[in-house]
Amino acid sequence: MALDNSAPPAGSAGGTPPAAGTPDAPAPGLENLLTEDRRFPPDPAFAAQANAHAELYSWANSARLEFWAEQARSLLDWAEPFQEVLDWSGAPVARWFGDGRLNAAYNAVDRHVAAGHGDRVALHFEGEPGDTRTLTYADLQREVSRAAHALTELGVQTGDRVAIYLPLIPEAVIAMLACARIGAPHSVVFGGFSAEALHTRILDADARVVITADGGYRRGAASALKPTVDEALAKGSGDVVRRVLVVRRTGQDVPWTEGRDVWWHDAVDRAPDTHEPVAVEAEHPLFILYTSGTTGKPKGIFHTTGGYLTQAAWTHLNVFDLKPETDVYWCTADVGWVTGHTYVVYGPLINGATQVIYEGTPDTPHRGRWWEIVQKYGVSILYTAPTAIRTCMKWGEDVPGGFDLSSLRVLGSVGEPINPEAWTWYRRVIGGDRTPVVDTWWQTETGAIMISPLPGVTVAKPGSAQTPLPGIAADVIDDDARSVPNGSGGYLVLTEPWPSMLRGIWGDEQRFRDTYWSRFAGIYFAGDGAKKDEDGDIWLLGRVDDVMNVSGHRLSTTEIESALVSHPSVAEAAVVGATDDTTGQAVVAFVILRGGAAERSPEETATELRAHVAQQIGPIAKPRTILVVPELPKTRSGKIMRRLLRDVAEHRQVGDATTLADSSVMDLIQQGLQKPA
Ligand code: 6R9
């Protein structure tokens, strides 16, 4: 979650909204991204076959509710059709399709089998050690049915919560769908989280059952998961009897609590392989997903069924131009993140897609592993994060160059602003200079993609998410909630309810109102800064608290990072604003150099990089300090934790680093810090 890399947004954890600078006048230094003038018009051949077309915007603009109602009817099967489209009388809690009933697992699996597609591959699983499994939709139907029976046997009833703490293996998808099948909201906790984090999440959601595995494979070794669950439950589990369902993945020894722990293969494999899905109300909770703030307890964002599935399916079909019969789709996210929920599990399966899931890291056992997978399965749609793209840039284009990537036809990006250099590299090196690239802006809270180009329709601008999707209303506003004119920056807000919007924070409605709806009355404040260019297209500038104020000038961390990365010596950059006696804040940059550049003296490099930033943005944006580092601290979802870098920049003891993907990175940075230039 984005909040990992910064302070919480306005009102979060009861705090006061950040006093960001007045965004209504274009501040010097925010111009650079907007001078990016490369344009990538849709290829006519692609446009001719595209799912999306320009008229979708006018249709949705003139009849937004009808547009969504039509998507809900055509993309989903309803056990009981809805009459009511939106009830906003309880704002900010929306009810979409409120009088309809449906089942998510039935929509994701059974109806494809019923329609004669049982033999279509749903999942090509690639384990990190190289083991593989293929599950067709018919296989998935049997597995999900068995698991649903097993959960019922363990005492799970409709409405009960189930925690899922698994590696990215087929059972993760099966477990989520089995919960959905019986109407038990799942709460997936990323397998890299600690016992403490798992414990808080189990308690907050009051989960009756925890589904886990003995372990999983990561970076060439089997790592254990089950002991973390034991530790989490040992911290006290309230007065609830909790059961633990354990998948055997690695075969390693596991501590066992008789009477509580059950092997998946014992409970699931012998269960009947047909099961009647439970049709729930459209507003029945489908899942809870925790997003960590920097302060306060994590927020259990919860989503409901009908609206969420509608927008998940529509966006997946149109933003990625999915052709279910022929495409092989791969989203590299783990199911522990919202991207894995919406674009590994629900969106693709609702649409009957064939997809790849991969358990491990991109460089195990070699740096070409991802591209080898693309070649092996003929992946045609790839969805990943800018941090992964920049890592591949760092490794060099020879690596992907060694594989046949000609099957790719659409590339997607999510999670952070993608700087224009990474965007063009992605398109050129991975996409063979031919594929559309879609930069998709959304959040755990929004449930599905909100702002993105549509492939085959939009003339793409590298670095910009560009346009709210049809049926979505977004704007950039100033401190007084006035829409800013084109060419100006401000706060990104969503001005109309959308089907996949969060319905709240689990067990804390007040916090939901305070966090998202209080900064601007009645308007959803996303916590991101953005700019409109002269065409009105939206450029994301990062969290508002990533906006620095240097000598009264607003500078965006993203923009300076983008300028640094456009220098040939720089592989990756992270910029923070450090308190400075004279200028208020000063720009401090942490850079990872590319292979050859690392041999030069840090002083020489820093001088050159400063001049480069001055030339790209303006002298005001020149970093005061440039630190050459071997790695950057990132969360497991790939977001840079600037908060920790700020501690380094301000010579403080480094704060809580437990949500880092690799907690040794901060030691590495501090030990290896070359003399600040
Ligand atoms: C899907 C996801 C949400 C935050 C969001 C923003 C950042 C995501 C982005 C992007 C610029 C994009 N973000 N996509 N910023 N361009 N295409 O990442 O959800 O983990 O909740 O993070 O991520 O700051 O507010 P989540």
Q: Is 55 annotated as a binding residue?
A: no
User: Average pLDDT of each block of 10 consecutive residues along the chain (677 residues)?
Assistant: 27 29 34 74 98 98 98 98 98 98 98 98 98 98 98 97 98 98 97 84 94 96 95 81 93 96 97 98 97 65 98 98 98 95 98 98 96 98 92 93 98 91 96 98 96 98 97 96 94 97 96 93 91 95 74 74 90 89 85 79 90 82 90 82 87 76 77 53
Mutate to test the pocket of ligand 1, among 302, 413, 423, 442 (most ligand atoms within 8 A of CB): 442
Q: Which residue has the tokens 């769908």?
A: 177
Residue 540, ligand 1, Cβ within 6 A: yes
Check the annotation: does 266 bind a ligand. no
Angle between helices 195-205 and 226-234 (to 10 degrees): 60
Q: Long-range contact list for 604-612, CB < 8 A, 24+ apart? A: 605/569, 605/677, 606/677, 607/677, 608/567, 608/569, 609/564, 609/567, 609/569, 609/570, 612/563, 612/564, 612/566, 612/567
For residues 286 and 273, give the distance between their C-alpha atoms in angstroms, rounded to a whole number: 23
Return d(Cα 405, Cα 514) in angstroms, integer.
Answer: 47
Task: Determine the pLDDT at residue 1.
Answer: 27
Residue of 335, 423, 528 to mutate, ligand 1, most atoms within 8 A of C-beta:
528
Q: Is 527 in the pocket of ligand 1 (CB under 6 A)?
A: yes
pLDDT (0 to 100) of residue 675: 43
Distance 405 CA to ligand 1 centre (A): 27
Please count the other Cβ atoms lying within 10 Å of the Cβ belonging to residue 15. 16
Tokens of 199: 């414990």
Place of tokens 């005061």: 624
Strand, helix or coil for residue 88: coil
For residue 438, the cross-strand partners are: 412
C-alpha span between 39 and 460 (Å, rounded) = 6
Sequence-separated (6 or more) residues with CB below 8 Å from residue 377: 124, 126, 328, 330, 356
User: Is the dihedral angle over the CA atoms 473, 479, 482, 487 positive or is it negative?
Assistant: negative
Per-residue pLDDT tens for 407-461?
999 999 998 888 899 999 999 999 999 999 999 999 999 999 999 999 999 999 9
For 72, phi then psi, to 5°, come to -60, -40
Which tokens sit at 495? 């001005």
274 vs 84: CA distance, rounded Å: 32
User: Is 567 annotated as a binding-site member?
Assistant: yes
Closest residue to atom 20 of ligand 1, CA basis: 1
Biggest CA–CA distance in the chain, Å, is 71
Measured from the Cα of 543, ligand 1's closest atom is: 24
CB atoms within 10 A of CB 580: 17
Task: Check whether 503 is labelled as a binding-site residue.
Answer: no
- 224 marked as binding residue: no
How far, in Å, from the CA of 440 to the mean position of ligand 1? 8
ipTM exceeds 0.90: yes
Residue 661 CA to residue 417 CA, distance in Å, equals: 20
Length of the chain: 677
* Torsion angles phi and psi, residue 440, rounded to 5: -105, 120
Report yes or no on whether pTM surpasses 0.80.
yes
| pLDDT at residue 157, rounded to an integer | 98
pLDDT confidence of residue 552:
63
Q: Locate the ligand 1 atom nearest the alpha carbon of residue 465 and give its number.
A: 17
